[in-house]
Amino acid sequence: MLPIVMVAALLSACQREEAPAAADADPLTTAASTPVAETPAPVPAVDDTAAPAGPVSQASFLGYGDMKLGSTVEEARAAWGGELNGAPMEGTTCHYLWPKWISRPADFAFMMEEGKFVRYDVGIDKETAPGGGKVGMSVEELQKLYGGALKGTPHKYVQGGQYLSIDAGDVAPTKLIFEADAAGKVTSWRVGLSPQVEYVEGCS
């Protein structure tokens, strides 16, 4: 009888140990029936190789940046906000002002006459004229940009060169004039009021 009792006891113990396993199955069933939140789609990585947007041109038919053609010298200086070199010579009514970082006024300067800001001159390719023209462009490229509105006349000093001008029209009483050499390349441009924008020699 003893062996039979021992076997029965062992079977009873095994059943008691296996019972919790059945109870443990319920949480798994519950978890399986609970909706799982969707994993959000990954955010696309930023392309660091994309070229940054170029700087916006400050040149316009109205002036340069906050400097408005027709304003007083004091207003123009205040609008520039930085240091400007240049001063009128005694007995003259026309002179140029230019940023301190410019080594040659012929590269970039503002014309003042009779106490007014009347024109600005550009001789470098870092600046873009109203409409997209730049120093270094060909006459053909200018014609594509400005079309039939661009008027050409012979250059006063450069044989084979020319002036190419365009009026601002209803935008302002100003004009844009490009100078091109004999090879048909733009060497400088200027924007200003009349008659100052027509001064071939600048303030000379």
Between 28 and 131, residue with greater pLDDT:
131
- The residues spanned by each domain of the chain are 1-31, 59-198
Cα-flanking dihedrals φ and ψ of residue 146, to 5°? -105, -15
Residue 80: the pLDDT is 97
pLDDT of residue 28: 41
Q: What is the reported pLDDT for 12? A: 47
Is residue 70 within 8 Å of residue 117, measured between CB atoms? yes
Mean pLDDT on 39-66:
62
Using left for φ > 0, alpha for ψ between -120 and 50, and beta otherwise, residue 141 falls in alpha
Q: Residue 204: which pLDDT band, with cuts at 50, 70 and 90?
A: confident
Measured CA to CA in angstroms, residue 131 lies from 14, 115, 118, 146, 165 at distances of 93, 29, 20, 7, 12
Global pTM? 0.73
Give the pLDDT confidence score for residue 25 in this predicted structure: 45
Strands 63-64 and 67-68: antiparallel
Closest CA to 109 of 120, 95, 117: 120
In sign, the C-alpha dihedral spanning 135, 141, 142, 145 is negative
Considering the four listed CATH numbers 2.60.460, 1.10.287, 3.40.1350, 2.40.50, the one that applies to the domain covering 59-198 is 2.60.460
DSSP secondary structure code for residue 185 in this structure = B
Mapped onto helix, strand or coil, the DSSP state of residue 181 is: coil
